[in-house]
Every structure is written in structure tokens, then in C-alpha cells.
Amino acid sequence: MIRRKLLAVSVAGLCITTASMVQAQPVQHETEVSILGSYIKPDKDRVDDYGTAIRAMYSHRLSRHWWLEPQFFAGILETGVDGGTDFYQQGLGADFNYRLFGAESFTPYVSIGAGVSRNDVFNTSGNEFNGYANAALGLISSPFSDAGLSVRADARYLWDSFEEDYSDLHFSLGLTVPIGATRTRIVEKTVVIEKPVVVEKSFADSDGDGVVDGVDQCPNTLEGLEVNAVGCVETSQAQTVVLQGVTFEFNSDRLTANAKDILISTADALKGQTDLNVELAGYTDSQGSAAYNRELSQERANAVRAYLLDLGVDPAQLTANGYGEANPVRSNDTEEGRERNRRVEFNVVSDAAGEGV
């Protein structure tokens, strides 16, 4: 293609990329601390009244959903006896906590765990250490502050092996704060790139043969063929191009739909230069017998010629010959090579030779 640069100027072109400001993303963290106050409904065989407690929990993430939660609680159970000493209870243990939606948003959870309990009762100087087990259902809210504070609440069943094995219910409410939390923000950012802009004017060359349309007397020339000064195929010497994409159905001379589309431009090239005579040369790979391949290649070359005639090409411009597995362009030992060898060539008949190439 011929292009003539008429004017080149350098200007500042602006390329602007903007990322919009969005709301801060949820807090990401691996550990957290929770402080909860609890109302206790004790086992009726323990006391007849109620109790209160405070529970401190340290939570460490094991995976997206699972957390390990060491914890301590201390409570007072009201005996309801005038002048009597209340019932004191402490516990140290750990829960496995499963959070349904992970930890970055509102999520329900379940917990199960066990530990050691200490019970101190009724004005006695002694106390007794025992074991306990508990299970809980709860909720953790989405963070409501920049520090990642969340509200946490749960209902907990606690079994204590002290004396006659007591079963208490703890209803808790409190706050959870992440430790070492990070928060990702997307901040608006504008990038300005300066680059030179070159203004060009070019003459059109529709068929890309190097001759502009205003001079080209033979439009639609096939790519790969040499042309003369007025854009017509040079016939003083033999020339060959492969009709790329002209393929056939398997083991057949029937053209594929894609091949028919490609041959339209081939027909346009021949009709644009009526003194251009060509040989359509068909080739196959080496699979099968040589006689069969020669026959198949002839049928395929004939099929291409027949389709070009249907498109209005002068019959005098076309001859068709099949050469079977002769003249391979690649090794037949590979699939890629065999595919390249199955082809139809467009051979320009040289005026100097007076016959097909």
C-alpha cells in the first residue's frame, strides 16, 4: 500500500483512566476479641433464681468458616435466700466456632466446646473443680465502625458436671473487635498519559497490491501476486499462490461454506483482469494410494473451477489439474504438514511459456 505523509504534528493527547470511589470493603482479619454480658437461667436443682456473668473470648481464624475460640467466663447465681451467700461459678475452655458466611459480614454461627469449671457455694471455704461442655447458636453483625466493631449475641446451653450435673442456659450480648484488621479501599485515581499524535493522509489501495485505486486498472488482485504499474497481475513470468482456506469436506470434493466465501474474491480478481489465465492445481497428502489421491485432487480442482464458473468467470481463463500427493510443501509425517499439503494452488499461466505451470 502506498502512503504519502502530508502533515505530521505532535500534540498532547490525553488518555484518562478513572477508578470511581467506592465504599470501603469489609474488614479483613485473622483474630478478634469479644466481651459479652450474660443473663443465666440456672438449672432449677441448682438455684431457684437467676444469674449474671461476663464472658471474654479470643477468636482465631482456622479457615474461611472455622474459628478456634479460647474463653473465660465468671458468674454469680442468685440463691434468693435472704442473708445467704450467692453461688459463684467460673469456667475456662475453648470452642470450635463455625460461621456460615465467613467473617466479613453479618453471619449466624454455631459453637461447641468444653473446659474446666470452678464452683464456690454457700459460705464454704472450699470449692470444687469439674468439667463442663457447651453448645451455642448466635449471630455476629456486620462491622458498624471504621475499627470493625460488631455486635455479637448468642444463646448457650452449658452442662456442668458439678455435684448432680447441672444444665444452665446463658443468653449473651456484647461487642466483637478485630485485632490487626486491614481494610481495602479503592481510591479515585486519574492517570494522564501524553503521547504524540501523527496526522496522516493516505491514498486508498483497496486490494493492497501497492497501486492506489485511482491508478489501479485491475481491482481485487489476489494477495501475493506481483502486479505491474497499473495494478494488473504480471503474466510475463510464472506465479503461484495457495488459495488459503479453500478446503473440502472429509474425503470429498465438496467445498466447505468457508471455501465458497473465499472463492468469491478469487472470482472478482479473475473478472477484473480478463486476460489473466490460470491453472487450478489440486494436491493431497500422502495418505491413501497414489492413484486415489491423484483422482481426488483432480475432482477437487474441478470443483473449484466449476464454482468459479458459477460466479461468472470466463471458462477460457481456467484449467484444472490434479497432482495427487506430488510436490509436498511440508512433511507428511505430521498432521500439520499433511494439512498444509492438502491445498489448491492458483498458478498464473505465463505468456512467455504459453502453457500452464
Confidence at residue 170, expressed as pLDDT on a 0 to 100 scale: 96
Q: How far apart are CA 204 and CA 263, in angstroms?
A: 24
pLDDT at position 279 over 60: yes
* Other CB atoms within 10 A of residue 189 CB: 10
For the chain, what is the mean pLDDT?
81
Distance between CA atoms of residues 313 and 266, nearest Å: 10
Q: How many percent of the chain have pLDDT more than 90?
A: 31
Task: Please compute the mean of the pLDDT values over residues 95-100 and round it to a whole number.
Answer: 95
| Residue 182: per-residue pLDDT | 61
Instruction: Name the band, by pLDDT with cuts 50, 70 and 90, for residue 293.
Output: confident
The residue-averaged pLDDT of 148-169 equals 92
Please, which pLDDT band fits residue 7 given cuts at 50, 70 and 90? very low
For 118-132, 143-157, 324-338, which range has the lowest pLDDT when averaged over its residues?
Answer: 118-132
pLDDT, position 123: 58
What is the pLDDT confidence band of residue 14, given thresholds at 50, 70 and 90? very low
Cell reading at 64: 474461611
Residue 22 has pLDDT above 60, yes or no: no
Q: And the C-alpha cell for 277?
A: 489465465
Rounded to whole angstroms, what are the CA distances from 317 to 228, 263, 277? Answer: 19, 15, 4
pLDDT value at residue 86: 77
Query: What pLDDT shows up at residue 247?
Result: 86
- The span from the CA of 356 to the CA of 280, in Å, is 9
296 burial type by CB count under 10 A (0-12 exposed, 13-18 middle, 19+ buried): buried
The confidence band for 181, taking pLDDT boundaries of 50, 70 and 90, is low
**Is pLDDT of 315 > 80?**
yes
DSSP state of 316: G
- Indicate the pairing of strand 318-322 with strand 278-283: parallel
pTM > 0.85: no
Residues 47 and 15: their CA atoms lie apart, in Å, by 76
Alpha helices in the chain (DSSP H): 257-272, 290-310, 335-341
Lowest mean pLDDT among 53-62, 233-242, 272-281: 233-242
Q: Does residue 80 contact residue 48 with C-beta atoms inside 8 Å?
A: yes
- 214 versus 62: the higher-pLDDT residue is 62
Strand bridging mode 128-140 / 150-160: antiparallel
Lateral strand order in the sheet of 318-322: 239-242, 343-348, 278-283, 318-322
**Cα–Cα distance measured from residue 104 to residue 148, given in angstroms and rounded to the nearest whole number:** 9
Confidence of residue 354 (pLDDT cuts 50, 70, 90): very low
Mean pLDDT of the region 149-176 = 93
Q: What angle do CA 157, 95, 25 make, to 5 degrees?
A: 110
User: At 98, is the pLDDT very low, low, confident or very high (cuts 50, 70, 90)?
Assistant: very high
Residue 68 predicted with pLDDT over 90: yes
Tens-place pLDDT, residues 227-239: 887 778 887 778 8
CA atoms within 13 A on the CB side of 245: 10
Report the pLDDT averaged over residues 106-131: 84
Residue 256 has pLDDT above 50, yes or no: yes
Rounded CA-CA distance 52/312 in Å is 100
Convert 181-197 into a string of H (helix), E (strand) and C (coil). Answer: CECCCCCCEEEEEEECC
pLDDT for 240: 86
User: Higher model confidence: residue 312 or residue 24?
Assistant: 312
**What is d(CA 167, CA 120) in angstroms, rounded to the nearest whole number?**
17
Q: Give the tens place of pLDDT for each residue, 186-217.
A: 555 667 677 666 545 457 877 777 788 777 77
**221 vs 140, more confident:** 140
